[in-house]
Structure 1
Amino acid sequence: MAVHPRLARATRRALPAAVGLGALWAADEYCWHQVLQRSARTVHTGLYLLWQYKVNWTPETCDEVHGRVAKRLVACLRTNEGLYVKFGQAMSTMDVILPDEYKEELKTLHDQAATFDFPQVRRVVEAELGRPLEEVFSDFEEQPVASASIAQVHRATLHEAGQAIPVAVKVQKPNIPAQNGWDLTLYKVVLLVMEQAFDLPMVWTYDYTRQQLEDELDFRVEAMHCAKAQAELDASRFKGKVVVPKVREQVSGQRVLVMDWVDSVGAVSDKAQLLRHHLPAEEVMRTATEVFGYQIFSTGHVHCDPHPGNLLVKLCPPGSPRRWQLVLLDHGLYCELSPKLRREYADFWVAAALGDTEATVEICRGWGIKDQDAAEFFASVSQFRRVRLGRGRLQALAALYGQPPGSTDLVRQMPRKRPTAKQLAEAQMKLKARAKKVLGDTAAFPRELLFVGRSLNMIRSANFALGSAVNRVAILAECAAEGSSNGGALASRRLAKLNFHLRVQCLLAVHHLSQLSEFLGWRQVLFAMGLAPLVLALPFAWGQGKDRGL
């Protein structure tokens, strides 16, 4: 049967293109670790995101649009794997400006990641160490015990000085170096698209995030953080309470990290395991919170990835003075606060906890946050609670320290009705407007606080999983008071903490009297107690004179 001339010509023209596309696909699939496919998937997702928000979004459909786009975006990140998962985790730190639908979907990126076959793992280890795997390890389990976005962990036994040492071997996935450059470039594209969609500044976070992710790919940097963190903890009251697995540097490198193996009973947030081993959940959570408070407010060397898999509890051997220890894993993602920023952030936490308007606004102004409303909003986001500056701050302080707000109110609050779609959209617009005020001067805003906020959010989540075992904000405020001391000496830190508690108690006393005044009137109560001059002077004595609403 004769072929039509036009069809024959079309076939001859299409054949080279088909062969070329096939060869390109084969190269991308087997040599380039799917760089082109992953990039095309990313571009397609970006276009979908823009179409949804520029065409389909209305106040009535906002929840549906948020939900559809969040699922599509996270599906893209999960399918692309590698650094894309890290990108999603970095986005989750900006939850102040993301709708709830995004927050819920981005949480799923902390689940178990895909693994690579053992032959590929062997090639990475042997190429990094320059020796056959059997010369270094007497035993090496082929199945990984854990897998994350950029690496997987295998249990092994190390030969060293005639000893057999159980170790954990962290091996970087072989596709990461090939994909790194493309992934970082397209991450910026994603931020540009989301900035256009949400009309909020996002690209300003790129350079700092890129540097953090690049550092995390070099396991030699992680080994340095491990040693520094352990030295800082050993020089503090946490010596013996918190351990960092020792890195075996002689058999570690840029893509392989060998650490001592640690047996644990489970994560800090695993309430069932803590109860099973009769461990005090409150004490465990308090220690974990204080450790991160110490890092943030006292050393400025902050572990920024304390998810449940990285914060464990281990039992001590019989005869040890302690029953349990906290184990801190995965030191690849750290941020360093300069002494100036560390002190400012400590002062900010103290001021926000006390509701000190003048101090809070002054500190925030230096970070490009211009007015009281924006400062109050940023303080609320930082502490994950409703911070009140000025009027209402005493009630917020009483609530923080365990006294139910409005306990003497005679009028009960009416139950809230479910908001309509229009009301919800309006609330989201107001929230976005407040977020834009916080991010009004991104050049002045400290990038480090994005990652510190991520760390604090994970600690909050762990505490919530234990049923809010401890007063997290109060503990961190104490740590901030210690970190804000002029010197690092123990006496200076204790004095700063004592001063903070004295201010709290004085303000709580004012709150008690204000509650009584609702029934008896200020003049009768104060003069009857002989405290009128003292109480009236308290707000001014503690730098509160410019506030109103006592």
Structure 2
Amino acid sequence: MPVRWARPARRMAWMGATAAGVYAYDRYYQASSLTRTIRTLTATALIIADYKWNFQPDKADRISQLHTRVAQRILDVCEQNGGLYIKFGQAVALYSTVLPPQYNSIFKVLYDRAPEVSFAEIDRVIRREFGRSPDELFETFDRTPLASASVAQVHRARLKQSPLGGRPGPWVAVKVQKPAIAQQMEWDLAVLQLVVWALERAFDLPMAWSLEYSMRHIRQEVDFVNEAHNAELADSLLAQDPTLRQTVYIPKVHWQFTCPTVMTAEWIDGQSLTNLDAAQLPPYCKPAALMNAIVSLFASQIFVNGFVHCDPHPGNILLRPHPGNPRRFQVVLIDHGLYVRETDEFRQQNCQLWKALFLMDTGAIRDICQAWGVGDADLLASLTLLRPFSSRQPTGLLHHGSQVSQRALYEMQLAIKARARDFLTNTDQFPKAFIFVGRNMNMVRALNKAMGSPINRVNVMANYAARGLGTNWQAWSQHSHSKLLGAQWGDLSLGAWLHRPRQSLATALNWLRFLVRSRVSYYTFQLSLWALSVHFYLHRTWEAFQRYFTVREVGNFEQVMEDSAARAFEQQFGYTMDTSLLEA
């Protein structure tokens, strides 16, 4: 080799060897964390550049292709990186209601079964945690997983029989964390922070305000000891409800085989609701009874006890015959990794918000929005009820059915961005739990729709909101947020009447006004629910009539509310919303 080429060749060889060494170290000792980080940051830079360069008025006719291209790039990163990135992508898919339609259609694949890891890797995790192999710990251990998710997979096993002899041990579900998750998690969360920071700066949208809260719950979700404690607390709260404890069951934890990366719980023979619709339900279970149990369960968590399961997708809900009466059904709730603990203040305010929405009490809605740092009361109401709500006449850019030019479409998307940016006036005041509570409600709404909307979900939720306010009539008065009751109403004792009759008369009139207002408020609320029930049953009757006499399908009640939301959205922005975006 000529001398002049020797030095560059050596330099290239050193660079190649260094790159190969770094790659090997990253892959075999860091679970490819560096590679995944580079892939993510590269994609982020390309996405920012793509939108900055191509989201322009003179390129409005190519905006749809731009959204498709960016959504596909994000999906590719999530699928190639796997692990927590699957959860990140699912979060994007869940909130695709505020994103262009292209995101929804592309991101749906992230809800499919996640890749499995080999039994050898599962064996290593169990040996590391318990000092013995699965075959030594259990009587039998199925090597093929029954379910695989983004961070863990589940195997069926059987406990060993008691040393005293007797029957074989019970069957259990062993949830094992995929070994790369522990190494990747902090890398991934740090990269997520950097990506969100970059996107927030690039597009002038509030994105980072809830990041710390979400990251804390992600860390809790991958700690299986925390999940086991969540399951037991949820079970103890469930036991306090005499109705729900008969129709809902939470599997018992086997603590001797539970640690931060392995959780062992009672095995339940049941049918997942993932691919089960109303026509496929077993004869012991009617759709209305099933959905009433499910909606009541989560409404009770949201409005009464404040400990909320935030991942109630159909795969985490099983159906089985009731062990005590096979002619009845029982709902089994699994996967307790993601819960939020509502503060009592937020829970009460949320109950008050639901009450105010049904009473059209704009003053109370405005007060709650101010307390939460929300600048758009109508949007908050729509997100709460998951149906359109407006306290004013629509002022849309275009009328329904108008032809939309490409330039107008561009301007509409800018208007949507502006409304999203202005939704929160003070991000520090907004209750972060609302994000996860909304996730729960959206998934339950989607399940009710999939079952044909056999119940009026909104009514069930509203009744639990009323229950969450408690028996104190002050919560139903117009002064429920004030201190009038204790501070100004004074003393109604006999001595007060004798010494201060005029003041006591004023106090008595205050009490009378309070009694009247609170009862009127309560019964107006109940009348609103009754009117909604009438609407629901009239729609069900019309739906049945169309199906049996005209062989024509009419959308179920959830679909009707979705269509109404789409029309309201179009009136506000002139932009036709794809109602499939509301699917969880």
Give the TM-score range, shorter chain: 0.7 to 0.9
| Alignment partners' CA distance in 2, 1:269 and 1:363 | 39
**Inter-partner Cα distance in structure 2 for 1:504 and 1:459:** 19
Which residue of structure 1 aligns with residue 44 of structure 2?
A: 46
Three-state SS of the structure 2 residue aligned to 1:457 is helix
Please tell me whether the aligned partners of residues 169 and 259 of structure 1 are also in contact (alpha carbons under 8 angstroms). yes
Partners of 1:271 and 1:505 lie apart in 2 by: 28
| Structure 1 residue 487 displacement after superposition | 6.0
- Aligned CA distance change for structure 1 residues 340 and 496 (closer, same or farther; 3 Å): farther
Amino acid of the structure 1 residue aligned with 2:3? P
Q: Give the letter for the 1:300 counterpart.
A: G
Q: Quote how far apart the aligned CAs of 1:197 are.
A: 4.4
Aligned position for 2:428: 443
**1:389 is paired with a residue of what secondary structure?**
coil
Partner of 1:264: 270
Count of paired positions:
477
Say if 2:175 and 2:264, in contact at 8 Å, map to a contact too: yes
Deviation at 1:160, TM superposition (A): 5.1
Q: Residues 17, 503 of structure 1: CA spacing in aligned structure 2 closer, same or farther, 3 A cutoff?
A: closer
Structure 2 partner of 1:348:
353
Distance in 1, Cα, partners of 2:327 & 2:258 = 31
Aligned to 1:133: 134
State the AA in 2 paired with 1:144: P
Of 526, 535, 555, which aligns to 1:501?
526
The separation in 2 between residues aligned to 1:507 and 1:33, in whole angstroms, is 54
Partner of 1:411: none
**Does residue 92 of structure 2 align to residue 91 of structure 1?**
yes
Supply the distance in 1 between the matched residues of 2:102 and 2:158 (Cα, whole angstroms): 44
The unaligned stretches of length 5 or more in structure 2 are 474-518, 535-584
Deviation per CA, 1:288-339: give whole Å up to 9, x if none. 111111100001100000111102211224x617521111110000001011
Aligned-residue offset at 1:74: 1.6
Task: Give the Cα separation in 1 of the matches to 2:409 and 2:449.
Answer: 26
- From 390, 406, 409, the equivalent of 1:421 is 406
Deviation of 1:286 after TM superposition, in Å, equals 1.8
CA contact (8 A) 1:129 1:252 kept: no
Instruction: Note the 1:261-410 alignment, pairs <5 A.
Output: 261-267=267-273, 270-271=276-277, 274-277=280-283, 279-317=285-323, 320=325, 323-370=328-375, 374-389=376-391
**Shift of residue 20, structure 1, vs aligned partner:** 1.0
SS in 2 for 1:239: helix
* Percent of matched pairs sharing the same residue: 36
How far apart are the structure 2 equivalents of 1:278 and 1:198? 53
- Contact 1:268/1:285 (<8 A) preserved: no
User: Following the alignment from structure 2 to structure 1, what is the Cα–Cα distance between the partners of residues 103 and 529?
Assistant: 37
Structure 2 counterpart of 1:395: none
Judge conservation of contact 2:272–2:316 (CA < 8 Å) in 1. Answer: no
Shift of 1:93: 4.7
Match of 2:157 in 1: 156
- Equivalent in the alignment of 2:254: 248
- SS of the equivalent of 1:155 reads strand
Distance 2:456 2:418 in 1: 30
The structure 1 residue matched to 2:418, chosen from 433, 437, 440, is 433
Contact 1:170 1:256 in 2 (8 A): yes
Alpha-carbon distance, 1:176 to partner: 0.6
Structure-2 change in CA distance of 1:197 and 1:64 (3 Å) = farther
Q: What CA distance in whole angstroms lies between the structure 2 residues aligned with 1:71 and 1:254? A: 34
Q: One-letter code of the match for 2:384?
A: S
Task: Tell me which amino acid in the other structure corresponds to 2:79.
Answer: R
The SS at the match of 2:260 is coil
TM-score, normalised to structure 1's length?
Answer: 0.81
Letter in 1 for 2:457: R
* 2:140 maps to 1:115: no
Residues 273 and 136 of structure 1: CA distance in aligned 2, closer, same or farther (over 3 Å): farther
In the other structure, the counterpart of 1:223 is 228
Which of 345-354 and 17-26 deviates more? 345-354
Which amino acid in 1 is paired with 2:189? L
Name the aligned partner's letter for residue 501 of structure 1. Answer: Q
Equivalent-residue separation in structure 1 for 2:301 and 2:274 (angstroms) = 18
Structure 1 residues 128, 65: closer, same or farther in 2, change over 3 A? same
Shift of 1:485: 2.1
Residues in 2 aligned to 1:470 and 1:179: alpha-carbon distance in whole angstroms: 43
Cα distance, 1:206 vs. partner?
Answer: 1.1
Contact 1:485/1:496, CA 8 A, preserved across alignment: no
Spell out the pairing of 1:175-186 with structure 2 (5 A cutoff): 175-186=180-191
1:12 is displaced (CA, Å) by 1.4
Secondary structure at 2:68 match in 1? helix
Q: For residues 358 and 79 of structure 1, what CA distance do their matches in structure 2 show?
A: 50
C-alpha distance 505-257 of structure 1, shift in aligned 2 (>3 A) = closer
After superposition, the C-alpha distances for 1:409-463 in whole angstroms (9 at most, x for unaligned) are xxxxx97255333333333222222222222211111111111111111111111
Distance 1:368 1:276, change over 3 A: same
Match of 1:523 in 2: none
Cα distance change, pair 364–175 in 1 and its aligned pair in 2 (3 A): same
Cα distance, 1:366–1:460 mapped onto 2, change above 3 Å: same
- The one-letter code sitting in structure 2 at the alignment partner of 1:34 is S
Q: Secondary structure at the match of 2:245?
A: coil
2:565 aligns with: none
Q: CA deviation at 1:75?
A: 1.4
Alignment partner of 1:385: what SS?
A: coil
> Secondary structure of 1:164's match?
coil
> So what's the TM-score if we normalise by structure 2?
0.77
Determine the C-alpha separation between the residues in 1 that align with 2:374 and 2:143. Answer: 52
Secondary structure of 2:169 counterpart: strand
Displacement after TM superposition at 1:199 (Å): 2.4
Question: Which residue matches 2:13?
Answer: 15
How far apart are residue 486 of structure 1 and its match?
A: 4.6
| Structure 1 counterpart of 2:137, one-letter code | V
Query: For 1:508 and 1:35, how far apart are their aligned partners in 2?
Result: 53
Q: What amino acid is the match of 1:303?
A: H
Instruction: Tell me how far apart the structure 2 counterparts of residues 426 and 479 of structure 1 sit (CA, whole Å).
Output: 41
Aligned partner of 1:102 in structure 2 is 103
Shift of residue 134 of structure 1? 2.5
| 1:146 positional shift | 0.6
> Partner letter of residue 225 of structure 1?
N
Which structure 1 residue ranges, 5 or more long, are not aligned? 393-413, 489-493, 510-550
Corresponding residue number in structure 2 for 1:454? 439
Distance 1:150 1:348, change over 3 A: same
Amino acid corresponding to residue 339 of structure 1 in structure 2: D
- Asked if the contact 1:356–1:389 (Cα under 8 Å) also holds between the matched residues in 2, the reply is no
Paired letter, 2:109: T
1:168 to 160, 164, 173: 173
2:208 pairs with 1:210:
no
Q: Is the 8 A contact 1:265 1:315 kept in 2?
A: no
Distance 1:172 1:196 in 2: 35
RMSD of aligned alpha carbons: 2.6
What residue is the counterpart of 2:514 in the other structure? none
In the aligned structure 1, how far is the partner of 2:279 from the partner of 2:129? 37
Aligned twin of 1:516? none
Contact 1:304 1:452 in 2 (8 A): yes
Instruction: Provide the C-alpha distance between the structure 1 equivalents of 2:78 and 2:117, rounded to a whole number of angstroms.
Output: 18
Distance in structure 2 (CA, Å) of the matches to 1:128 and 1:13: 45
Q: Displacement of 1:201 after TM fit?
A: 0.6
Once the 2 structures are TM-superposed, how far is the Cα of residue 141 of structure 1 from its aligned partner? 0.7
Q: Please say if residues 278 and 452 of structure 2, whose CA atoms lie closer than 8 Å, have aligned partners that are also in contact.
A: no
